[in-house]
Amino acid sequence: VAKLAAVSSALPFACITVYAETEKESKGQLLKPNQLPIYCPPPLKSKYVEEQPGHLQKQFSSVRQTTGRYIGWCKDAFVFVKNGITDSIQLGKDAYVYLKNPPPEFLPKVGVITISGFAGMVLARK
C-alpha cells in the first residue's frame, strides 16, 4: 500500500516522453555495438583540463580547513576525557570487588596505617 501511495503521489511530478516507432525502421537501421557513441575511442587530440574551483567552493574549503583543526582538537579532548572516565569507573569497580572480599592481611595493615596517621596528627598539634 505504501509503495502504491508513493508511486501515485510522484506521478504528477514525473516527465515521461514516449516516442512511437514502427517495426520497419527498427529492423532496417540496426547498429553494431562499436557504432554506438559510448564505444567510440576518444579523439586523438583530446587532453585533460582540470576544473578550477569556483568562489563558493573556495569559501567552503577554507571554512572546512579552519574548523577542521578545532574539531580535531575537540575530538582528541573528548577521547582523552572519555578514556579517563572509563579508567576511573573500572578502578572503582576493581576497588569495590577488592574491598568486598579483602584478603586476610588487609584489615590489620589498614588498622596500623590508620592508627599511625591519627597518632601523627595528635603529635603534630603539640
Tell me the pLDDT tens digit for each residue of 3-14: 555 455 555 555
User: Residue 84: its pLDDT value, please?
Assistant: 95
CA–CA separation, 103 vs 96, rounded Å?
Answer: 13
Q: Does residue 60 surpass a pLDDT of 60?
A: yes
Instruction: Name the H helices within the chain.
Output: 2-10, 23-28, 55-100, 106-125
Selected residue with higher pLDDT from 10 and 69:
69
Task: Give me the chain's average pLDDT, please.
Answer: 80
User: Residue 107: its pLDDT value, please?
Assistant: 87
Q: Does residue 21 surpass a pLDDT of 80?
A: no
